[in-house]
Amino acid sequence: MILSDQPRSSRSSIATTNPFDGSVVQEFDVMEPAEVDRLVERSHAAYTQWRNRTREERAAVVTRAGELMLERREELAELLTLEMGKLTREAHGEVFLAASILAYYGEQGPQMLADKPLPTRKGEARVVSQPVGALLGVMPWNFPYYQVVRFAGPNLVAGNTILLKHASNCPQSALALEQVFRDAGAPEGVYTNLFVPGRDISRIIENPLIQGASLTGSEAAGASVGEVSGRNLKKCVLELGGSDPFIVLDAEDMTHTVTAALVGRMANTGQSCISAKRMLVIDEAYDAFVAGLRDAMSRLVPGDPADPATTVGPVSSEESALEILEQVQDAIDKGAKVEIGGGRMDRPGAFVEPTLLTGVTEDMRIFREEVFGPVAVVHKVSSDEEAIALANDSEFGLGGAVLCHDMERAQRVAERLDTGMVWINHPTSSMAELPFGGVKKSGFGRELSDLGIHEFVNKKLIYALPSDTKIAGAAG
């Protein structure tokens, strides 16, 4: 329900706030616990029917959802720009990426779930992949469509139903995506948006009808979801923070390397778990790299994210801007060198200057913490071994990138990084057919590719022997 002149509920915290000018566009009532319980029950009831449709029938709904996203790309992209300040071209890019994921699972999902025969000494054995029930997804604001569909798409094809708690600052994006699935033919209760505060998540997971949870978000949120899921013996998938290394091993093509670094760090205004947050540059390339990246960042054009001429927009909120500035100031106070930026832009909105820091040391917050904004940190290294050691000296292990003309050398370094993903000669990114996920405090489980569709399915063994088989005894 959209609020107008009605008094706000004491639980109400769901609103579209434009980070470009700080204006509150729309506010929404949060759902009371009784309403949430009713929707969980509806989702479970829908599951009992949805699971009985063929994989191909379920995949057709997901395919149609992808088609509708493309048909509505202008409207959907505008909501991303409005709610979290995403540049127009990046908003369109996210819509296309999300649609490609739905198309991928619509086409490939049924065969990914096909029965798997097992060799056995006698009889016939196979593993069948069956859905488990209603799942809760808890999603962040930085990629409001992409993050959702990489969870929802494969699980809908698998036969699960989805309850989606989106970030509180992108309610209109959440509603638009719910409408897409409804219009694509998902029956009532198969995909349901929940407007609830974060404090309600544990209670939802504890509901016996919920069979699993997937969260993309902070370490603290992941720890909370992991704890309540474990306590209730339910599986969860966690994609948490990242402090991805971007390793430069030579100075062969500095134009390409600097472009990769700029895109890797500044895409989505630096608000990505897989951003190139720590740039580790071999000493022979260091000076040219720093000069090139400093020049490239100086040419970024701040402004309205809806203006095609803008190349750097606001961060998602005033709170985010203040947190980033605190991290930067801590580094400056402790001796880091500011190559460019370092402060707040002199303009309205949640704008942070594109910032490049060198001379960062272990006593600075920015050395260990994830910086979720337009801030690049460059370290000089003297060898591949030092680059690997520094890259792995992190509590995070999501992604990473290696830039090197010598592919064998790049492969050797990539294999030794303690991360879930490594891209060579390209900033870390995402594609429907490639698995996505991390290790250490970056979480566990995988999304996308064939791995993603098997996270929340029952891998059931069916073993058949002739009826006249002699019974030798049982094990287990």
Write the pLDDT tens digit of every residue in 169-182: 999 999 999 999 99
> What is the pLDDT averaged over residues 67-93?
97
**How would you classify the pairing of strands 235-239 and 244-248?**
unpaired
Residue 208 — very low, low, confident or very high, per pLDDT cuts 50/70/90?
Answer: very high
Please give the Cα distance from 277 to 268 (Å, whole number): 13
> What is the pLDDT averaged over residues 66-80?
98
HSE, CB side, 13 Å, CA atoms: give it for residue 188: 4
Residue 7 — very low, low, confident or very high, per pLDDT cuts 50/70/90?
Answer: very low
- Number of C-beta neighbours around residue 407 at 10 A: 11
Q: If DSSP codes are grouped into helix, strand and coil, which group holds residue 230?
A: helix
pLDDT at 472: 77
Q: Which of 83, 90, 94, 239 is catalytic?
A: 239
> What is the pLDDT averaged over residues 179-197?
98
Is residue 94 annotated as part of the catalytic site, yes or no?
no
For the chain, the residue count is 476
Q: Is residue 6 pLDDT above 50, yes or no?
A: no
**How would you classify the pairing of strands 337-340 and 355-358?**
antiparallel
Please give the Cα distance from 62 to 66 (Å, whole number): 6
Concatenating the DSSP letter of every residue in 126-185 gives: EEEEEE--EEEEE--SSSTTHHHHHHHHHHHHHT-EEEEE--TT-HHHHHHHHHHHHHTT
Pick from 426, 310, 458: nearest CA to 374: 310
Please give the Cα distance from 392 to 329 (Å, whole number): 25
What is the rounded average pLDDT for all residues in the chain? 95
Domain boundaries, the chain: 14-240+442-461, 244-424
Residue 166 — very low, low, confident or very high, per pLDDT cuts 50/70/90?
Answer: very high
Concatenating the DSSP letter of every residue in 383-406 gives: SHHHHHHHHHSSSEES--EEE-S-
pLDDT at 474: 60
pLDDT at 12: 57
Q: Which of 83, 170, 236, 273 is catalytic?
A: 273
Tens digit of each residue's pLDDT (9 = 90 or more) over 19-54 = 998 899 899 999 999 999 999 999 999 999 999 999
Contact 48, 147 (CB under 8 A): no
Amino acid identity, residue 114?
A
> What is the pLDDT averaged over residues 80-101?
97
Is residue 273 annotated as part of the catalytic site, yes or no?
yes
Tens digit of each residue's pLDDT (9 = 90 or more) over 361-403 = 999 999 999 999 999 999 999 999 999 999 999 999 999 999 9
Contact 125, 153 (CB under 8 A): no
pLDDT at 475: 62
pLDDT at 22: 87
Q: If DSSP codes are grouped into helix, strand and coil, which group holds residue 118?
A: strand
pLDDT at 3: 30
DSSP letter assigned to residue 451: H
Tens digit of each residue's pLDDT (9 = 90 or more) over 333-370 = 999 999 999 999 999 999 999 999 999 999 999 999 99
Beta strand segments in 178-336, E: 191-194, 210-216, 235-239, 244-248, 276-282
Contact 436, 98 (CB under 8 A): no
**Same fold? 14-240+442-461, 244-424:** no
Tens digit of each residue's pLDDT (9 = 90 or more) over 459-473 = 999 999 999 998 877
Tens digit of each residue's pLDDT (9 = 90 or more) over 224-251 = 999 999 999 999 999 999 999 999 999 9
Q: What CATH number is given for 14-240+442-461 in this structure?
A: 3.40.605.10
Please give the Cα distance from 89 to 310 (Å, whole number): 10
Q: What CATH number is given for 244-424 in this structure?
A: 3.40.309.10
Please give the Cα distance from 14 to 364 (Å, whole number): 34
Tens digit of each residue's pLDDT (9 = 90 or more) over 395-440 = 999 999 999 999 999 999 999 999 999 999 999 999 999 999 999 9
Amino acid identity, residue 211?
Q
Specify the pTM: 0.94
Tell the residue number behind the tokens 């930026």, with chain if given.
341
Please give the Cα distance from 101 to 112 (Å, whole number): 14
Q: Which residues contact 54 (CB under 8 A, 6 or more apart)?
A: none
